[in-house]
Each structure stands twice: as C-alpha cells, then as structure tokens.
Amino acid sequence: MQYRKLGDSNLEVSAVGFGCWQIGGYYWGRVDEAEWIAAVQRALDSGITLFDTADWYGFGRSEELLAKALGPRRDEAVIATKVGLTMRGGKHDFASDELLELEDHIEKDLSRAHIMQAAEDSLRRLQTDVIDLYLLHWPDVTTPLAETMEAMGELVQAGKVREIGCCNFSVAEMREAHSYRALAVHQLPYNMLNREPEQELLAACRDANIGTMAYWTLFKGTLAGKYTEDSVFETDDWRHHDPAFQGETFKRNLQIVEKLKQVAGDEGITPAQLAIAWAIRQAGATTAIVGAKRPQQAEQNAKAAEVQLSDAALAGIEDILSGE
C-alpha cells in the first residue's frame, strides 16, 4: 500500500480508500451486513486506512456499521464523514419503488446550528471522540461560507474534528472556503469515464495544496468490467434508474470497458485495478475511495495501489479514452 499526506494537514492515508455508502441501505440494493463487515476488516488487513462515510448514507446506518466493523481497530483507521445533506421531514423509510422520490426530499444545510448538532450525532454513531476528517457534503447556497467554516473551526478547536474538507464544490467555492480555514481535501467524482476535473479542479487543488479524494473511481462498478447490456439492477439499486446505466450511454461505456479489459489483461491485473491504479497516478490525485461490498473486492482494490502501469498500458488507455 502507498500512503499519502492530505494537503497541508498532518493526516496520512492509504492511496486507496474504502467507500461506505453501500451499507447505508438505500441506493445499492441488498448488501449483506456480515459480509460487508468482513470487507472492512479485510481492507484494514490489506493496508487500507481511509474509510469514507456520511451521516446521509442510510441516515446514520453507515456510520454505525463502520464503528461496529472497526471495533477495537478504530485507531488503525482515518475516518472521513460528512455533513450537510438532510431529509425534509426527517428520516423516512423509502420502499424500493419510491427510490426516485428520495431525491426530491433532499435539502442542503451547512448552517452553524445544523453542523454542531450533526457532528455530535456522528461522533455518537461512530463511537469515537474525534472525527479525523469532517467534510462538507455539498455546497449550501443559503448559508454564508464564512458561517459554515467558522462552525467547522470551532469543532477543530474543541478537539472534536481533526481536519476539514469539502466535496462537490466549484473552484470558486473551494477557494473561498480555504481562505477562511485550510481544507485538507476535496472529494470529487473522477474516473476514466469522467475526466472533467482535469480541466480545472485538480490543478486548482494542487495549486492550493489541497489533497483530493476521487469517488466513483469505478464509475459505480462499470469500470470493474463485469456488466453487460443484459445486466439487470434491482429496483432498490439506484443504477436501475441511473441514466448512465441505460440505453446508448451504457452501451458506449461498455464498449470502452471492453477495450480497457484487454489492457488490464496484458498487465496481468483486473479491470478494477486498472481503473484505480490509473486514477491515483493522475496529476493532482491523492487518493481514490472505492465502494466495496465483499472482502475479495476490498482486497483486490487495495492491491491496485501497488500496480505500476507500463508505458504501453498508459498510452493504450489514453488512446481508448480519447476515442482513437
């Protein structure tokens, strides 16, 4: 495993992290709890130290189960959790056929009052005295960033949070937040099928010495190379509704993945490892967090950090992604 420092902070984390959204209970279909807990433990055994969750993932369920999975090994982990998404009307148990409606109930709240309460709730669910990395989940245009960052600073001063970061911010929002208080990391969607952050965001993070955490490194599983046009996602799996998994878009992505599979085969690695190894070696990339459901997935993903892609592989990937 490689370990990398997050921006100017004192936090050093594994280059490949473990995403904990899957166990939240919504969006990802059925996930076996015992198997997922075993996956977290296999991740630790494989050198992964970075675990990414959010109060939003299953309305706290992901945080609770991460605490259960880490158990006495909590100190081996750097826990990142998030604040800022709330559910209008509070927690609601959506049936799988109501999943589409869930999006309409989301509200963004980065007010001081919400952050202070949410931090206490996350600390309790995570069974810890300190959140290693507290991330602003989405921008909230109704709250001044100065208020948000002041609240985050208070949490650091109180010893309840070690470092602060943001997710899904624009370059301008990130710079403004960083001017109030140093951000250790920016979490953003980045993968072989979505290279948009290369245009500005990754360079802006590098310039400001803010670390990055790529999510959707496998483009929600697509880049692992196991899906076909006939793959069926259950109605309680968000991919059943996700436009990226329908029609021409899905077909085009699968064609790219077929070509990438050949490169992975030539390198003697899996397609998932190719996607992860590629992501963490890009300019401005610090870590990639990958959502795993099973121990074998976690172990395989961790091993991607050791992969040295050959020049031929890198050139081949570039040709495939640029459509040559």
Ligand X SMILES: NC(=O)c1ccc[n+]([C@@H]2O[C@H](COP(=O)([O-])OP(=O)(O)OC[C@H]3O[C@@H](n4cnc5c(N)ncnc54)[C@H](OP(=O)(O)O)[C@@H]3O)[C@@H](O)[C@H]2O)c1
Residue 257 CA: distances (Å) to CA of 141, 293, 307, 321:
37, 21, 19, 10
Q: Quote the least distance from Cβ 21 to ligand X, whole Å.
A: 3
- CA 64 to CA 72: how far, in whole Å? 14
Q: Which span sits near ligand X by CB under 6 A: 15-23, 94-102, 122-130, 243-251?
A: 15-23
Question: Cβ distance 270 to 221 under 8 Å?
Answer: no
Q: Which span sits near ligand X by CB under 6 A: 6-14, 18-26, 71-79, 140-148?
A: 18-26
3-class DSSP state for residue 185? Answer: strand
Q: Quote the least distance from Cβ 217 to ligand X, whole Å.
A: 5
Quick check: 287 binds ligand X (CB under 6 A)?
no
Quick check: 226 binds ligand X (CB under 6 A)?
yes
- CA 208 to CA 231: how far, in whole Å? 42
Q: Which span sits near ligand X by CB under 6 A: 96-104, 192-200, 245-253, 294-302?
A: 294-302
Residue with tokens 């959506």: 94
- CA 229 to CA 235: how far, in whole Å? 17
Q: Applying CB under 6 A, which of residues 165, 284, 291, 295 lies at the interface with ligand X?
A: 291
Question: Cβ distance 222 to 252 under 8 Å?
Answer: no
Q: Applying CB under 6 A, which of residues 14, 86, 122, 187 lies at the interface with ligand X?
A: 187
By the 10 Å C-beta count (0-12 exposed, 13-18 middle, 19+ buried), 127 is classed as middle
Per the annotation, the verdict on 57 as an active-site residue is: yes
Among residues 288 and 320, whose Cβ is nearest to ligand X?
A: 288
Question: How many residues touch ligand X (CB under 6 A)?
Answer: 28
What residues are labeled active site? 57
| Residues in touch with ligand X (CB under 6 A) | 19-22, 28, 52, 137, 167-168, 187, 215-221, 224, 226, 272, 289-293, 297, 300-301
